[in-house]
Amino acid sequence: PADKLALLASFDKTSTNLGYPGYGNPPEGEIFDTYVLTDMFAKAATGALSPKDAMAEANTRAKEIFTKWRKKGFVGGGSKDK
């Protein structure tokens, strides 16, 4: 349909930047760019993993990504983060 993108006309009023209300950072970007969350939902939805196991795997991947960027000095936090 000709108006299929009309709903995006006010998209800027309901969307935010990654990291809102703060700033986005490299590990958050990598989590999105490497499909950590998408893979989590896909694995749970297709039965490749149980929802609990899919969440655990995504959590592990996210922590590894944050650890890598912390070592490079691009994000704060540390071992006590949950």
Is the peptide bond between 26 and the residue preceding it cis, with omega within 30 degrees of 0?
Answer: no
Q: Which amino acid, 28?
A: E
Hunting for tokens 């039965």 — which residue is that?
Answer: 47
Using CA atoms of 22, 61, 47, 37 in order, give the dihedral in degrees to the nearest 10. 20
Which pTM value belongs to this model? 0.74
> Under a CB-based contact definition with an 8 Å cutoff, are residues 76 and 70 in contact?
yes
| Tens-digit pLDDT profile for residues 4-61 | 998 888 888 888 877 778 888 999 999 999 999 999 999 999 999 999 999 999 999 9
